[in-house]
């Protein structure tokens, strides 16, 4: 079997790759470089020149070749490698007639614990969203920003005392509303500085959040380690880094209890498995990052099924627009103006907070015919929030 074509496929606000073989098997993968998908698509075109004529089943060799060929990386390049890697595993699963997790050592669990995305521009909206998640049967919620999901078009200002105390009080109100049966995964979106993050961690600790995610920008590994060492609340991070070496350096600094592996940007299924093994040696758990489409969900679930130190799977609402679009929009958007479910032939079934494993060969999902025509591609706009004084705010 040989690879005969590699085709980037742009659909709505997502970027996929299809890898074609001379035996008619087609692999599907997704890039997680969601802000720079056009650059990632061009990286796919470059890797295509290497992949044509190759055996798609020598996955590890192709991973090493693409990863090491130019010694330049970054989200766009790693998103392309990740998408191609997922597609090659998809081909392998279809070739052997089994789900990918069967090729990776078999399943460690029969179903996948998930957390439901919640959001709110006001305290009441956020609390009601968490209550809704519990009513739907979920036992964990994530993407929960105690600092709210206000539109990026609104200039930001809060006093330090109000910023910390209002956020902590929201967590208190949520905990009182849903009790201890629902785990709270707090998403801080890199909003804080190390000292602020430590102060927040101490004040929110009585309400037992499952973890604090990305309290500061991920660029400085030592800062994340410093926060983790001064916080009794576990730290989750990693969704914006790309290499196994970066994860190893974070883990060696005891900077995370939960590794947020972005399967569609950290090297695909192969990269996520490598990171999981390093994390296991450090006693850390895996929480796959998944703000993308159902294709990403299918790939993440292959990893979640076969990794012993898996904890919980991020699961966005595939009934509406993408999570990245919802949370980076400059103004309110119509959540149901587009359904991701219409693009694909599978989305997970969730019962009492646990998703059923995909059982079809490969990663277990396909795009509908002519998806790129039915759901035209739209470039993401550059948009970030500004402070009332005109400076840039992390949100």
Which residue bears the tokens 């802000």?
35
Q: How many CB atoms lie within 10 A of CB 94?
A: 23
**Closest Cα partner for 211 from 228, 175, 236, 231?**
236
What b/e string do you get for 250-265 counting C-beta neighbours within 10 Å, with b at 16 or more? bbebebbbbbbbbbbb
H runs (alpha helix) in the chain: 37-51, 59-68, 75-96, 100-103, 123-135, 160-178, 194-204, 221-229, 244-252, 268-281, 294-306, 323-328, 371-374
**Closest Cα partner for 283 from 246, 239, 321, 252?**
252
Phi-psi region of 168 (alpha: psi -120 to 50; beta: other; left: phi over 0): alpha
Phi-psi region of 238 (alpha: psi -120 to 50; beta: other; left: phi over 0): left
Which residue bears the tokens 């101490």?
202
The tokens of 303 are what? 């990893």
- Cα angle vertex 100, ends 98, 105, to 5°? 95
What's the CA gap between 98 and 41, in Å, rounded?
29
Please measure the distance between the N-terminal and C-terminal CA atoms of the chain and give it in whole angstroms: 47
- Bridge-based pairing of strands 285-286 and 258-259 is parallel
Catalytic residues: 189, 289
The tokens of 336 are what? 């149901």
């Amino acid at each position: 079997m040989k690879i005969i074509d590699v085709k980037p496929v742009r659909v709505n606000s997502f970027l996929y790759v299809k890898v074609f073989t001379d035996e008619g098997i087609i692999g599907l993968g997704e890039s997680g470089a969601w802000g720079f998908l056009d650059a990632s698509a061009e990286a796919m075109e470059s890797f295509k020149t290497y992949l044509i004529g190759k055996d798609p089943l020598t996955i590890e060799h192709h991973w090493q070749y693409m990863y090491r060929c130019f010694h330049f990386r970054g989200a766009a390049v790693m998103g392309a490698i990740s998408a191609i890697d997922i597609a090659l595993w998809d081909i392998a699963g279809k070739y052997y007639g089994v789900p990918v997790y069967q090729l990776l050592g078999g399943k460690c669990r029969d179903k996948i614990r998930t957390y439901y995305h919640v959001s709110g521009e006001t305290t009441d909206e956020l609390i009601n969203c968490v209550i809704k998640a519990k009513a739907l049967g979920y036992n964990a919620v994530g993407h929960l920003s105690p600092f709210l999901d206000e539109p990026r078009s609104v200039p930001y200002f809060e006093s330090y005392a109000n910023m910390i105390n209002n956020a902590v009080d929201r967590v208190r109100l949520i905990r009182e509303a849903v009790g201890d049966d629902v785990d709270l995964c707090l998403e801080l979106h890199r909003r804080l500085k190390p000292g602020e993050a430590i102060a927040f961690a101490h004040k929110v600790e009585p309400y037992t959040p499952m973890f604090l995610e990305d309290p500061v920008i991920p660029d400085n590994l030592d800062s994340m380690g410093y926060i983790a060492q001064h916080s009794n609340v576990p730290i989750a991070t990693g969704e914006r880094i790309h290499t196994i070496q970066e994860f190893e350096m974070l883990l060696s600094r005891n900077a995370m209890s939960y590794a947020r592996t972005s399967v569609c940007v950290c090297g695909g299924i192969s990269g996520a498995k490598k990171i999981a093994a390093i994390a296991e040696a450090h006693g850390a758990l895996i929480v796959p990052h998944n703000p993308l489409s159902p294709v990403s969900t299918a790939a993440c679930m292959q990893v979640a099924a076969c990794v012993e130190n898996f904890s919980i799977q991020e699961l966005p609402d595939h009934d509406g627009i993408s999570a990245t679009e919802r949370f980076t929009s400059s103004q309110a958007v119509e959540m149901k103006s587009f359904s991701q479910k219409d693009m694909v032939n599978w989305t997970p079934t969730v019962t009492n907070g646990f998703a059923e494993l995909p059982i079809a060969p490969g990663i277990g999902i396909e795009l509908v015919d002519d998806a790129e025509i039915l759901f035209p591609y739209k470039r993401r706009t550059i948009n970030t929030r500004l402070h009332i004084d005109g400076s840039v705010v992390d949100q």
